[in-house]
A and B are shown apart, each in its own frame.
Chain A
Amino acid sequence: TQLLEQSPQFLSIQEGENLTVYCNSSSVFSSLQWYRQEPGEGPVLLVTVVTGGEVKKLKRLTFQFGDARKDSSLHITAAQTGDTGLYLCAGPHAGGTSYGKLTFGQGTILTVHP
């Protein structure tokens, strides 16, 4: 069973601070996806990292895929109140009879205070 563990589960910071969210597994993933989910809504895809060591930037958000493709991180620079939300990492099961079903981490609830 492929599991994804996110840390921390809760993060409460002041506007302007930096933060990092981690997504770890003992299994190798062909890619990892990061989603953001607002209360009562569906996950919205932020980014997909595919290559070991890959770094992708989305404005103030920086995503990194570990060299061994077992972990990923999300770093937010100078957080804003609009960054408040639930951040999820997810990885696909690949190979064999799998058709890419996603395993999700438990999520990190980020609260940015003004």
Chain B
Amino acid sequence: EPEVTQTPSHQVTQMGQEVILRCVPISNHLYFYWYRQILGQKVEFLVSFYNNEISEKSEIFDDQFSVERPDGSNFTLKIRSTKLEDSAMYFCASRFSVAKSSYEQYFGPGTRLTVT
């Protein structure tokens, strides 16, 4: 069964460093998302991506964040200068459906980012 994959599973970085989190969405999906979950808190939306451009972003997704789909399969999230508060689980998700009534999204296993 097709699934969303993410690498690395765990990334430790020092404050101020750049990190790139990678995702391979399900191959025929059209919409791509990044979410994050700080320990003990809700899953929260960061950004959506469709037709090779950002379609929507949250207040969290400031100038330090960027996303890219460099080829037909990968979808990346870059944090330019990490802060302690960026420590969280980051989830990639993808969706195929053009039927707005369902909006089913499939999530990857996540990348645990630890900023020290």
Residues of A near any B CB (own CB < 8 A):
30-31, 33, 35, 40-45, 48, 50, 88, 90, 92, 94-95, 97-107
Contact = CB atoms under 8 A, between A and B. Distances in A.
A69 to B, nearest CB: 10
A30 B101 CA distance: 5
Secondary structure at the B interface, as helix, strand, loop or mixed, is: strand
A92 B55 CA distance: 14
B110 A41 contact: yes
Contacts of A35: 107
A92 B112 contact: no
Contacts of B45: 101-103
Interface in B72-106: 89, 91, 93, 95, 100-106
Given A88-B43, A97-B56, A101-B45, 13 more contacts: A40-B112, A41-B110, A42-B91, A43-B91, A92-B103, A98-B56, A99-B55, A100-B100, A102-B45, A104-B43, A104-B44, A105-B42, A106-B42
13 contacts: A40-B89, A41-B110, A42-B109, A45-B106, A45-B107, A48-B102, A50-B101, A50-B102, A99-B48, A100-B103, A101-B45, A103-B45, A104-B43
Interface in B32-67: 33, 35, 42-45, 48, 50, 55-56, 58
Given A88-B43, A105-B42, A100 B105 contact: yes
B114 to A, nearest CB: 13
B31 A99 contact: yes
Contact of B107 (A44, A50, A103): A44
B108 interface: yes
A8 B112 CA distance: 27
